[in-house]
Amino acid sequence: MTKASLLTPYNSEALQLKNRVAMAPLTRRRATNNHIPTNMMRIHYGQRASAGLIIAEATNISPQGTGYMNSPGIYTGDQVEAWKPITREVHKKGGVIFLQLWHVGRVSHPLLQPDRQLPVSASAIKANGLIGTPEGQKEMVVPRALETSEISGVVEDYKNAALNAMEAGFDGVEIHSANGYLLDQFLHSGSNIRTDEYGGSIENRAKFLMEVAGEICSAIGPEKTGIRLSPSGISKDMFDLNPVELFDFVIAKLNDFDLAFLHILEPLVELKPKEKYSKFLKVVTPHFRKVFKGTLITNCGFSFDSGNKVISDGDADMVAFGKLFISNPDLVEKFATGAVLTPWDESTFYKGGEKGYIR
């Protein structure tokens, strides 16, 4: 193993990248109150264009899909136009940038929804926890289960968002099906107790994701389409009775799409209590490397050395870094020179100003 593992180019049929360092999507809430990207975001992404691949932050596909104030959208003309200077800035500096498409599902609140409607989910099962609203922190509510007849409309929202991303100049999109948001809520037995064709068996629970992937691949091309999954993710009350069986099926099925990449997360938080999560994998990347046939990006908790190792061991093709990119816009350059990394300041993650974001 050499230090060059992360720093060598990566080439596939879909991707021609200058290195194997990906910038993970980071929800930083620097958009306007109307979810329009800002000039500050142009500077932010331009500063990080030395990454082999930037996966831009989770971006709302519709008003219904929104759960966080000042998160950007990709469903209006104004939003599309505001993204264009950002993609141009990244391309001018030789970067490649995909946009993560997001519907939060139940991780929202009526104060964040059109006409103060209930958030939607796979089933009417509440996620525990607070969420920021224009009236302060509020407890999340019991969502409304999407009607079977409504699901095709949400699939259409995903497709339109992907087409809008292409118009905005992105090189591709990542479908966010991780971390307890809508598509993830449909996958897991703990949040999906439906009795229609989108519930029950693993195949049925995966149907929504497969429909979204199929529509987006048809609309913009599979070579411009990636997917993010969290096979051992338990944040936002995610749980499944047979998580390995679930994601073995899902990931094997995704091989049919010839995607640009699959982006998987190692566990974000400790899997405890141990008894509840005894069936969850503590380390997911080596297991699912054997299942997925295409480009694999791994994420969560990697350093330069451990990132090099996961690549040199053949368990992943790229490594995505999140918090390290927050405080080190020149992360790739620092990796190359061995420079000391700047620690992140968590108090600036969601504050909305320039500090901790572009300076």
User: What is the rounded average pLDDT of the residues 137-166?
Assistant: 98
Query: For position 155, what pLDDT does the model report?
Result: 98
Domain spanning 10-348 has what CATH number? 3.20.20.70
Distance CA 237, CA 328 (A): 31
Strand, coil or helix: 205: helix
Phi, psi of 204 (to 5 degrees): -65, -40
Residue 125 structure tokens: 């099962």
* pLDDT of 344: 96
Instruction: Find tokens 């694999």 and name the residue.
Output: 296
Pull the structure tokens for residue 184.
Answer: 């993830």
Distance of CA 204 to the CA centre of its chain: 22
Percent of the chain with pLDDT over 70: 99
Question: Residues 243-287: pLDDT tens digits?
Answer: 999 999 999 999 999 999 999 999 989 999 999 999 999 999 999
Give pLDDT tens digits for 80-131: 999 999 999 999 999 999 999 999 999 999 999 999 999 999 999 999 999 9
Return the active site residues: 181
**DSSP character for 257?**
G
Please give the pLDDT value at position 206.
98
Model pLDDT, residue 351: 87
Distance from C-alpha of 297 to C-alpha of 148, rounded to nearest angstrom? 33
Burial of 13 (0-12, 13-18, 19+ CB in 10 A): exposed
**What integer pLDDT is reported at residue 39 of this predicted model?**
98
- Read off the pLDDT of residues 197-238 as tens digits, 9 standing for 90 and up: 999 999 999 999 999 999 999 999 999 999 999 999 999 999
Instruction: Note the pLDDT tens digit of each residue in 112-125.
Output: 999 999 999 999 99
Does the structure show a pLDDT above 50 at 19? yes
Q: What's the CA gap between 49 and 38, in Å, rounded?
A: 17
The H or E element spanning position 252 is helix 243-254
Residue 3 clears pLDDT 80, i.e. is over it: no
Burial zone of 44 (CB within 10 Å; 0-12 exposed, 13-18 middle, 19+ buried):
buried
3-12, 217-226, 319-328 — which is least confidently predicted? 3-12
What's the one-letter identity of residue 196? D
Whether the model clears a pTM of 0.85, i.e. scores above it, the answer is yes
Query: In the prediction, which pLDDT does 1 show?
Result: 38
Give the pLDDT confidence score for residue 207 in this predicted structure: 98
Report residue 2's pLDDT band, with 50, 70 and 90 as the boundaries.
very low
Contact criterion met (CB below 8 Å) for 35 and 244: no
